[in-house]
């Protein structure tokens, strides 16, 4: 009887907690659906630029399911390579064959090399030797160097979001926020103070993560570490403002953690950790709504491609815009505690 009573109490508790009940059912379904769409998406189509190549080579490439584009000069092909329109370009010059890879993704580079070598081998075994070079990175670039910048952004975002959300939640549940709101302080001053206060620790955390990744783990970094720090700080600021916002809709730490499968996990799938070209176009647009996508793109531009401020200013502006919008929403959300 005592066991039955305890079981009944637990069942009633779950029934009353609609959020936990919904999360137990919907979160796994959401994540499994995303996994299915990511891994059962379209096959990646390797894109090759051709310069001064015979028609026989173009036909051989198409048989290997390579999507080819014709360019009139190596400069035009290199510009297309930098813009991400092609994965490599192939040129026959003075009897020598040359393959220039984009190089930022080792898996795509290996697939491209294998398919092109097989295509050339079928035409003429004596010409199978190809001079291969990369635009970014190196031929021995590891997979970790490719997705390392994305993981760097993810961990900075995840831990700042969680710590900021739980900390602000405690401020509310312990009555500290209520006491502050009973003082003459205005909502915008309160939000700004919390962001600056948490932001100082966020700066330290971001700096430690970046320095440790680059100098201890030897993560590849072809650009300025100052740009890496700037990107990470802006992403952490977005995570901070988002964590504070969502904590307003949680009553305890468990409910704050429940936001992770909904807010954090989907961003991993759309951050670029998995090739977005293979994801169904029906959902790939979601990536442009996630801050982690822009941070990951900017980090790859700096750390892998060695680009500077002008190449990442667009992503930085979007991240800054996210943080400003979330900050404003936070100010309005505080209205439910006090109208100032």
Q: In this predicted structure, what is the pLDDT of residue 339?
A: 46
pLDDT band at 113 (very low <50, low <70, confident <90, very high): confident
User: What are the strands of the beta sheet with 96-101, ordered from one edge?
Assistant: 67-70, 47-51, 88-93, 96-101, 131-134
Compute the residue count for the chain. Answer: 340
Least confident of 108-117, 118-127, 141-150, 300-309: 118-127
- The mean of the pLDDT values for the chain is 83
Q: Is 11's pLDDT higher than 90?
A: no
What is the pLDDT, as a whole number, of residue 340?
42
Distance CA 80, CA 48 (A): 10
Token pair, residue 300, equals 């790859």
What value, to the nearest 5°, has the Cα angle with vertex 303 and ends 298 and 307? Answer: 65
User: What pLDDT score does 154 carry?
Assistant: 92
Domains and CATH numbers, the chain: 47-134 (3.40.190.10), 143-336 (no CATH)
Helix ranges restricted to H, the chain: 2-16, 18-39, 55-63, 74-82, 106-123, 143-173, 176-181, 187-211, 225-247, 253-257, 265-269, 281-284, 291-303, 309-333
Q: What is the mean pLDDT of residues 91-109?
A: 82
pLDDT surpassing 60 at residue 282: yes
Q: What is d(CA 114, CA 57) in angstroms, rounded to the nearest whole number?
A: 15
- pLDDT of 46 > 70? The answer is yes
How many CA atoms, within 13 angstroms, populate the side-chain half-sphere of residue 287? 26
CA triple 113-119-120, angle to 5 deg: 90
The mean-pLDDT minimum among 55-59, 106-110, 325-329 falls in 55-59
Give the range among 122-126, 135-139, 246-250 with minimum mean pLDDT: 122-126
- Residue 100: partners with Cβ closer than 8 Å, 6 or more residues away: 77, 78, 81, 88, 89, 91, 133, 134, 135
Please tell me the predicted confidence (pLDDT) of residue 338: 53
Q: Is the pLDDT of residue 128 over 70?
A: no
Residue, of 316 and 62, whose pLDDT is higher:
316
Most confident of 55-64, 205-214, 231-240: 231-240
Range scoring the smallest mean pLDDT among 9-13, 90-94, 134-138, 281-285:
9-13
Q: Is the pLDDT of residue 320 over 90?
A: yes
Question: For the residues 21-44, what does the mean pLDDT come to?
Answer: 77
pLDDT at 124: 65
Evaluate if residue 295 carries a pLDDT over 90. yes
Check residue 22 and give its pLDDT: 72
Between the CA of residue 23 and those of 89, 243, 260, what are the distances in Å? 48, 18, 11
Give the range among 18-32, 227-241, 262-276 with minimum mean pLDDT: 18-32
Give the pLDDT confidence score for residue 72 in this predicted structure.
Answer: 84
- Over residues 93-121, the mean pLDDT reads 82
Sequence-distant (≥ 6) Cβ neighbours of residue 293 within 8 angstroms: 267, 270, 271, 272, 287
Q: Categorize the per-residue pLDDT at 336 as very low, low, confident or very high, splitting at 50, 70 and 90.
A: low
**In sequence order, what are the residues at sequence separation of 6 or more whose Cβ sits closer than 8 angstroms to the Cβ of residue 225?**
210, 211, 214
- Looking at per-residue pLDDT, the higher value among 179 and 325 belongs to 325
Q: What is the pLDDT of residue 196?
A: 87
Q: What is the pLDDT of residues 189-226, one digit of tens each?
A: 888 888 888 888 888 888 898 899 888 988 888 889 99
């Amino acid at each position: 009887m005592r066991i039955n009573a305890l079981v009944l109490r637990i069942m009633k508790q779950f029934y009353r907690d609609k959020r936990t009940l919904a999360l137990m059912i919907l979160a796994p379904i959401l994540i499994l659906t995303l996994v299915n769409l990511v891994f059962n998406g379209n096959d990646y189509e390797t894109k090759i630029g051709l310069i001064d190549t015979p028609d026989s080579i173009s036909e051989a490439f198409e048989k290997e399911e390579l999507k080819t584009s014709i360019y009139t000069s190596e400069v035009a092909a290199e510009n297309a390579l930098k813009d991400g329109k092609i994965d490599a370009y192939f040129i026959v010059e003075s009897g020598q064959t040359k393959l220039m890879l984009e190089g930022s993704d080792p898996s795509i580079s290996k697939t491209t090399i294998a398919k092109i070598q097989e295509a050339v081998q079928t035409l003429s075994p004596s010409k199978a030797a190809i001079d291969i070079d990369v635009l970014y990175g190196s031929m021995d670039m590891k997979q970790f160097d490719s997705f390392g910048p994305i993981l760097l952004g993810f961990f900075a975002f995840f831990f700042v979001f969680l710590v900021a959300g739980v900390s602000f939640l405690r401020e509310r549940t312990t009555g500290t926020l209520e006491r502050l709101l009973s003082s003459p302080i205005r909502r915008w001053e309160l939000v700004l103070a919390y962001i600056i206060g948490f932001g100082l620790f966020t700066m330290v955390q971001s700096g430690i993560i970046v320095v440790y990744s680059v100098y201890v783990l030897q993560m590849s970094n072809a650009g300025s570490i100052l740009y890496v720090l700037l990107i990470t700080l802006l992403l952490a600021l977005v995570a901070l403002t988002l964590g504070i916002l969502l904590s307003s809709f949680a009553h305890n730490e468990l409910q704050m953690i429940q936001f992770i499968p909904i807010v954090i996990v989907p961003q991993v799938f759309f951050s670029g950790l998995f090739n977005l070209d293979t994801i169904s176009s029906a959902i790939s647009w979601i990536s442009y709504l996630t801050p982690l996508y822009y941070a990951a793109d900017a980090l790859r531009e700096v750390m892998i491609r060695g680009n500077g401020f002008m190449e990442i200013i667009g992503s930085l502006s979007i991240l800054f815009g996210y943080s400003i919008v979330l900050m404003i929403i936070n100010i309005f959300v505080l209205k439910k505690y006090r109208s100032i």
